[in-house]
Structures are given as structure tokens and as C-alpha cells.
Amino acid sequence: MDSSPDRCPSPRPDRTALGGTLVRLGVAVAAALLLLLLGLPLAALVLRVPAEALWSRLGQPLVLEALRLSLATSAASTAAVVALGLPTAYLLATRGFPGKRIVLVLIDLPLVLPPTVAGVALLAAFGRAGLAGGVLHAFGVSLPFTTLGVVVAQTFVAVPFFVGAARTGLAEVDRRYVDMAATLGSPPGRTFLRVMLPLAFPALLSGAVMSWARALGEFGATITFAGNLPGVTQTMPLAVYLALQSDLDAAVALSVLLLAVSLVVLLVLRSGSAGPAGARARALRPAE
């Protein structure tokens, strides 16, 4: 065996192995810290409430009102966001036009605007003395202090979540399929429904879920614009905040309740993406 020094030295196994192990360790630690940061507060919350207390709270009219209001308004605002946001996303994804960049910034604005500021802005626009207040009044519509106002506030803050995801999802649909559908006799509207929507579905669903979650948790804009009245505008986040000031146990119980409801809805929606539509959508990935 020749051991001449001119030969390339054999790779240093300990150096490379340690490098690899260190990286893996680092990744594991980071992930663990993150999960701890998220999981510990949630676990602490749940542990704080005895199960019977939670059940008895569920029966309280104030709690039921807040829960009902939260679910109803967040569902309505998500529907509004999708109804208005989908055509907008389609336009942004398929066409260029002068001023497009400004429109994109405008749609992203609620993301960076503090919710209370959003509330003040909504008042300035749609309040009784607001810019459009007169117009609304002429139609017999009043937004501040009403449930409709809550929906408007939620819609305002939730829009960027859906439109962003929908725009990307629609833009990523391969142009080839759209062209192909056109040559097969499908006008643009039909192509949108039969080709673009199904192919972009996972992104759209994800965007809608995020939008709903944001609407459910909305507080600052709601309390500023719509106000706070049980049964009318006092959604769960508002109820929790106010309960915190006078009855900590009630606040904790309400929080756990909201957490449970959110969890259930999220699970239902996620398993929706595991159903037949979602399976088809996921199956598209490897083929592309």
C-alpha cells in the first residue's frame, strides 16, 4: 500500500458528519422552539379552564350571542370577499392595464394598516358624517353600530388574504390549458369555470380559509367602526377583551371556546382539501 503524501487525502469524515449533524440539530431546535411558542400558550389556556365551567358558560346568552355573531359575520364577510375578490383576482391575473401596480398596492394596504386605523378610515368614509354617508343614508343603509358594519369591517381587513392567494393561484394556471379550451369552443367565462377554477382550487381554498380566519379574529376595526353592543356588534374577540377587564375566568372560557370553534372549522376545511376535489387538485402537482 502506497502512502505517498502526494495523494489526495481521504475526506475527513468527522468534519463533514458534524457539519451535517449540526445543521439537522439546528433545524430541529428551531422547529421545536416555534412549536413551543405556539403550543404553550394554547395549552396553558386550555388547562386554565375546568371543563364544567366551559360547559356552563356555553349556556350563557351573552356567550351564545357573541359566538353566533362571530360565526355569522365571518361567514358573511368571507362570502363577500370571495364574491368580490375572485373576479378582481381574475382580472389581475390575466390582464395588464395602466395603474395595475397601484391597484395591487391598494389591495395589500389593509395588511399593513393597523386595524384601529382601518376602523377610523371606515368611519371617515361610511360613517354618518362620512364621505359616502349621505349616499348610504339615501338608500336607508347605516353601517356604524350595525351588524352589517361588522361585516364591512371584517371584509375590509380580510380582502388581501384572499385576493393575494387567488391572484397567484389563477396566474399559475398554465396558459396552454386556457388556449386549448378556447380552441375547443369554450368562451372565456366557461373556460374560467371549467379549467381555471378547478386548477387553481387549492390556492383559492387556502386564501378563503385565511380570509375567514382573519375575519373571525378581527377586533380593532370592528370596535372602532361598528361599536360594541351585545347581540348586534359584540363579536367573540370583543367579548373576550371586555370580559378580561372585569372577569378573567370568563375571558379565559370565552377564549377557549373561540379556540375550539376555530379548530373545528379549520379541520373541516382542511379535510375538504383531502376530499375528492382536493385529491384531484393534489394529483395535478406531479404531472406538471
* 83: its cell numbers: 364574491
Burial 116-131 (b: 16+ CB within 10 A, else e): eebbbbbbebbbeebe
CB atoms within 10 A of CB 112: 9
Residue from the set 11, 245, 268, 276 that interacts with other proteins by CB under 8 A: 245
Residue 280 interacts with other proteins (CB under 8 A): yes or no: yes
What is the spatial distance between Cα 63 and Cα 49, in angstroms, rounded to a whole number? Answer: 15
Note whether 99 binds other proteins by CB under 8 A.
no
13 touching other proteins, by CB under 8 A: no
Does 284 help bind other proteins (rule: CB under 8 A)?
Answer: yes
Site membership for other proteins, residue 94 (CB under 8 A): no
Measured from the CB atom, is 208 or 243 closer to other proteins?
Answer: 243
User: Is 283 a binder of other proteins (CB under 8 A)?
Assistant: yes
CA gap 195, 183 in Å, rounded: 13
Nearest to 212 by CA among 166, 169, 268, 262: 262
288 touching other proteins, by CB under 8 A: yes
Q: Closest approach of Cβ 253 to other proteins, in Å?
A: 16
Query: Is 128 among the residues that bind other proteins (CB under 8 A)?
Result: yes
C-alpha cell at 3: 502512502
| One of 233, 236, 250, 253 touching other proteins (CB under 8 A) | 233
146: left (phi over 0), alpha (psi -120 to 50) or beta: beta
x-or-dash pattern for other proteins, window 172-211, by CB under 8 A? --x-xx-xxxxxxxxx--x---xx--xx------------
Cα gap 134→138, rounded to integer Å: 6
Least distance from C-beta 48 to other proteins, angstroms? Answer: 13
Q: CB 78 → other proteins: shortest distance, Å?
A: 24
> What distance in Å separates the CA atoms of residue 211 and residue 82, rounded to the nearest whole number?
9
CB atoms within 10 A of CB 40: 10
Q: Is residue 129 at the binding interface for other proteins, with CB under 8 A as the rule?
A: yes
As a residue count, the chain comes to 288
- Give the interface segment with other proteins, choosing from 5-13, 15-23, 62-70, 223-231 (CB under 8 A): 223-231
Interface with other proteins by CB under 8 A: which residues? 123, 127-129, 144-145, 174, 176-177, 179-187, 190, 194-195, 198-199, 227-229, 233, 241-242, 244-246, 248, 280-281, 283-284, 286-288
